[in-house]
Structure 1
Amino acid sequence: MKRSLVIITYHFAPVLSPGSLRMLRWGRYLPQAGWHPVFVACSNARGSVDPELMAKVRPDSIVHRVPAIGAYARLAAGLDALSRFRRPQAQAETTHGPAPLSRKAAERRFGPGEILLAHLFVPDHAVEWVPGAVLAARRALKSHRARLILTTSPPHSTHLVGLALKLLSPEGLAWVADFRDPWYDNAVRLEGKARSRLLDAMEARMERWVVEHADLILANTAGNRTQLQARYPELPAGKVVVLPNGYDPEDFREHRDTGPRGPRMTFLHVGYYYSVFGDTLFRGFEEAIARHPELAARIRLRLVGELSDQAKAWASYLAGLDPGLVDMAQPVPHHQAIRELGKADVLVCTNYSGEQGRSCVPSKLYEYVAAGKPILLVSPPGDACELVERSGLGHCIPENDRVSVAEAIWRLYCQWQTGSLQAKENQLFVRRFRADEQAELLASFLDQLDGKA
């Protein structure tokens, strides 16, 4: 007999995001483990849309879509129009590529409009969706006779839905809070958005409420679990467990083969390239070409997805060394991104710097290892490095070590040129990140909670 689980997620198909893909995988495989997910999602969520994702939704899935009221979007559009009267700041460049953004420069980019939005919508833009989501989730709990809810973030305001349901519902409701990224200690929150002492205090209190009232907390990496346990040492043992991101094996049945080799060796990066990822990867390519000028005509860095202004400046700079060296492409549907992995020779990825990078594993890395291609990762030592190294598919290069990046590029190129470029995949290790096996693990957690509810 299948039991119902109400999952509250801001993003869901056809919106393309790491959270949406995680929920699609659970929606496909949880029923095989005895749980039937009922989704409550935002019908007008911010994000890119991939209509083909709807084909991944099980025909028997139940999805209740609730709109956000739209105040954030209207206010943001108005403030953006006003900001156009401000003089744009030019990106400084040097003879050795674009200059990196300093932390002080990043702080100065927040204008009055951004500061206003940050203080009106706490903890994030999706907070305006919370009231409607609470009402829809309560109806879903009643109609499906569910006793368990799961909230997933980011956006972290989704957990406020779970908090409200936990406080409003009678005893017997169990709540799982899924943290796909840290909340309070997140680098995007600390460096990528306007902050104040008031906002810091409010978000710290919100996070504590969620952590204290949830019955089980899912962390997507071991480092994030350790971080949460360090912030809340009073939590009972076993309350925070690890359930990493992963990949759907169905996506890779047809897209693991490379096909014929092209005239250039392709290094591929898929997905967002945030400014907080730094420029070590680009400086490594610059260094490699300075050491081996012939590389400029024999390799290609393909960037598929949205790029920060700094990444665009670097890509343009490198393209000036050779017209075919850099290839920038707009974001593509998920199935096409998987196909891109199969065509590439080497998959490249960068991570956050410092402590955030030690505990963060970019979600694309799981699909990288599923593709079975050599991986070049720039990251502080930590969970991401462990994933790549234990998979047998690549090596981790420390941030700011452009020389090691250059040496890796040359070594991989030499292997490609001689036809010896291949990865020794640890299939047993990689298999643990299959979506069907992860659904079994999640179901085991739910079974334990259901027995207590």
Structure 2
Amino acid sequence: MQKVLIITYYWPPAGGPGVQRWLKFVKYFRYFDIEPIVYIPENPTYPMTDTTFVKDVPEDITIIKGAIFEPYAFANVFSKNKTKTISSGIISTKKQSVTEKVLLWIRGNLFIPDARKFWVKPSVTYLSEYIKENHIETIVTTGPPHSVHLIGMQLKEKIGVKWLADFRDPWTSIGYHSKLKLTKKSQRKHKELESKVLNNASAISVTSFTTKDEFSKLTNTPIAVITNGYDNEKVKNNKLNNNFTLSHIGSLLSGRNPKVLWSILKELCDTIDSFKNDLEITLAGKVSEEIIDSITKFGLTDNVVLKGYLSHEDALILQRESQVLLLLEINSEETKGIIPGKLFEYIISKRPILAIGPEEWDAARIISNTKTGNTFNYSEEQKIKETILAYYNLYKKNELFVTSTNVEVYSRKNLTQHMASLLKSL
């Protein structure tokens, strides 16, 4: 088998979508003659944890750890809630407190490319010897945090290993990057580091078509699109919710506030007698204050259920119990390449997806190809309203279902085969 060292910050018991991509690749690599070795931080500060992911870690896998200095742990002394929020990517668009402004400035300008930069030097020192002693020829770095890619770049320069740089999200073009209060010097430094990584990697993998297009303008390094996917997990066979449930699973950032949706739901509640009684808006995950304020403003508070963070298993159950699944993305050119990891679990839930996002959104292509729902731009208010009404009428007749197609291409095992082929070709 080919040995591959995977360098990742997020690993169980970390929660959220960031951990799942390489956890699932590791789970299936041996089917395709790849022997994975995983390098993770010894003492990380994760914004959320989910112990249910631990079951997917192969029992006899080699996992090595390196100590990391975590500025987020130090910042918690001053403002634990604000630190966790910024670490999770939720940046308020309202008037920010002095503490939040200071934390954002520090995060953006003193920790380049990110607050995990202090893991780079000790990791390169330790892994240089480990790689030589264990005859490893291929390494993978996955970001964010994009400082992990600096480990890969320095290892390639130092000992000549083949290096795949995997981008779960873009670097300088991601939405929150512009909110970090960067100076011109800091912005230039981010761009320089991004360019060095892209041009020194042996190959690059990305999760969306748009990210590939963006990176192709910055480098001639080969780029492969390997999306996230779904796993064939056993889920308790619960019945559909009796209410007309519109469920969103995952963080709802301030920029994703779908005011057009709240407006439509308010109008339908006011004009259809049964709609207000049947409607239930379920939000599972971190929800920003701006979202809550909007829901209150549109008079939908009584129809909302806030679940908080759910374990992965509970999230899968909620998806299958819901009548409609909401997929919401920021209305921006910067976000058209963002394909939320939950989309792939949505598409195998057998529930219709109502997606609202930017024009030419990559997620829309997948929803269309799999026939699992409908995608709209924020300006298409009438079409969104008509679709919700159509869903509601089918719900009232117990006929609200989807017949999907072309879904198997997104199974984790099939995607792992693609990734294994890429690694063997380096």
> TM-score with structure 2 length normalisation?
0.91
1:235 lines up with 2:181 in the alignment: no
Partners of 2:150 and 2:197 within 8 A in 1: yes
1:434 aligned residue: 411
Deviation at 1:161, TM superposition (A): 0.8
1:110–1:194 CA contact under 8 A, matched in 2: no
Give the aligned partner of residue 120 of structure 2: 130
Between the aligned partners of 1:328 and 1:39, the Cα distance in structure 2 is: 36
Q: Is 1:24 matched up with 2:11?
A: no
Partner of 1:244: 227
The gaps in structure 2 that reach 5 residues or longer are: 84-90
Is 1:11–1:45's contact at 8 Å kept on the other side of the alignment? no
Task: Please list, as runs of the form range in 1=range in 2, the aligned pairs for 1:310-389 lying within 5 A after superposition.
Answer: 310-317=290-297, 320-321=299-300, 323=302, 325-380=303-358, 381-389=360-368
Q: Is the 8 A contact 1:41 1:66 kept in 2?
A: yes
Residue number in structure 1 paired with 2:40: 41
Structure 1 residues 71 and 278: CA distance shift in structure 2, 3 A: closer
Task: Name the counterpart of 1:92.
Answer: none
Name the TM-score, length of structure 1 as normaliser: 0.86
Going from structure 1 to structure 2, the CA distance change for 1:307 and 1:430 (only over 3 Å counts) comes to same
How many residues are treated as equivalent by the alignment? 416
Q: Give, in angstroms, the shift of residue 313 of structure 1.
A: 1.9
| Amino acid corresponding to residue 61 of structure 2 in structure 1 | S
Say which of 142, 147, 159 aligns to 2:149.
159
Q: Distance in 1 between matches of 2:283 and 2:416?
A: 32
Q: What SS does structure 2 have at the residue aligned with 1:36? A: strand
Match of 2:52 in 1: 52
Q: CA deviation at 1:335?
A: 1.1
The answer to whether residue 2 in structure 2 is matched with residue 3 in structure 1 is yes
Residue in structure 2 matching 1:176, options 159, 164, 167:
164
State the match for 1:300 in structure 2. 280
The residue that corresponds to 1:219 in the other structure is 206
SS of match in other structure, 2:246: strand
Deviations 1:5-59 (A, max 9, x none): 0000010011013221111101110111000111111232322111221111001
Counterpart-to-counterpart distance in 2, 1:258 and 1:221: 33
Deviations 1:390-436 (A, max 9, x none): 1111010112434433322221011010121110211xx21111111
Q: 1:369, CA displacement in angstroms?
A: 0.6
2:291 partner letter: A
Secondary structure at the counterpart of residue 432 of structure 1: helix
Deviation at 1:277, TM superposition (A): 1.3
**SS of 1:288's equivalent?**
helix
CA contact (8 A) 1:347 1:374 kept: yes
Measure, in 1, the Cα distance between the counterparts of 2:377 and 2:56. Answer: 37
Report the CA distance between 1:79 and its aligned residue. 4.4
Equivalent residue in structure 2 for 1:203, among 174, 190, 205? 190
- CA displacement at 1:148 relative to structure 2: 0.3
Q: Equivalents in 2 of 1:378, 1:106: separation in Å?
A: 27
Q: Secondary structure at the match of 1:47?
A: coil
Partner AA of 2:334 in structure 1: Q
Query: What one-letter code is carried by the residue in structure 2 that aligns with 1:286?
Result: K
What percentage of residue pairs aligned between the two structures are identical?
23
1:254 aligns with 2:235: yes
Q: 2:109 aligns with which of 107, 111, 119?
A: 119
Query: 1:355: how far off?
Result: 1.5
Q: Are the structure 2 counterparts of residues 321 and 447 from structure 1 closer, same or farther at C-alpha, using a change threshold of 3 Å?
A: closer
Distance 1:21 1:114 in 2: 27
CA contact (8 A) 1:11 1:20 kept: yes
Is 1:289 paired with 2:269? yes
Task: Give the root-mean-square deviation of aligned CA atoms.
Answer: 2.5
